[in-house]
Amino acid sequence: MEMKRIFGSALACLVLVHCGYYLRGTGSSLPPNIKKIDVPMFKNMTTRFDLDVKLTKSVIDEMVARGKVEVTSESSGGADALLVGEITAFNVNPIAFSDQNMADRYTITVIAKIVLRDVANQKILFSNPSYIYQEEYEVPSGTSYETWESQAIDKVAEKFARSLVSTLLEGF
């Protein structure tokens, strides 16, 4: 009986490995020739000041932290791929209110056009004309959204970057 259990477990592991399962964060959906990516400043088509700087910096930081590709600048050349982003919308909407009819929970939505292109053969590796990231943010009672706005946008930029880079590098 014990031998059947061991054999069954070993067979299940073999099937899972053979089927292509792997731990999240260890694979890559990029072609093997993509080692360096250039990430120029995202274009900001919204009225939200500095959103382009925060999102671009967060995407670069996330790519560097993952260590799967090297991030280069346009001036240094030698990039295998180019990641272009255009922020097309930024919305903050109240979704919950306190007893005093003050908004205390907001949803922040960022929409961007994202294109990752192989520089050598001009092939598009990833394209999403409407990449949407949405996050809820709570404002402590007795304060206003404006007080917490900068921190909220910083957190949204980090999470936007994590989501985008995961999609680009791991295909999720």
In CATH, what number is assigned to the domain containing residue 159? Answer: 3.30.160.150
**145-170 helix and 51-66 helix, angle to the nearest 10 degrees:** 40
Residues with Cβ within 8 Å of 118's Cβ and at least 6 positions away in sequence, in order, are 31, 33, 34, 80, 81, 124, 125
Q: How many angstroms separate the CA atoms of 22 and 75, rounded?
A: 36
Q: Per the structure, how many domains does the chain have?
A: 1
The pLDDT, as a whole number, for residue 103 is 84
Whether residue 7 lies inside any domain: the answer is: no
Encode pLDDT of 56-67 as tens digits: 999 999 999 998
Whether residue 4 lies inside any domain: the answer is: no
Whether residue 21 lies inside any domain: the answer is: no
Q: Which of 86, 72, 83, 87 is nearest to 30 (CA)?
A: 83
Rounded average pLDDT over 5-17 = 51
At residue 91, the 3 state secondary structure works out as strand
58, 160 Cβ separation under 8 angstroms: yes
Whether residue 11 lies inside any domain: the answer is: no
The pLDDT, as a whole number, for residue 104 is 86
pLDDT-above-90 percentage for the chain: 56
Residue 32 has pLDDT above 70, yes or no: yes
Whether residue 6 lies inside any domain: the answer is: no
Whether residue 121 lies inside any domain: the answer is: yes
Top pLDDT among 67 and 7 is at 67
Residue count of the chain, please give it.
Answer: 172
Domain assignment of residue 119, given as a range: 28-170
Encode pLDDT of 80-116 as tens digits: 999 999 999 999 999 998 888 888 889 999 999 999 9
Encode pLDDT of 121-140 as tens digits: 899 999 999 999 999 988 88
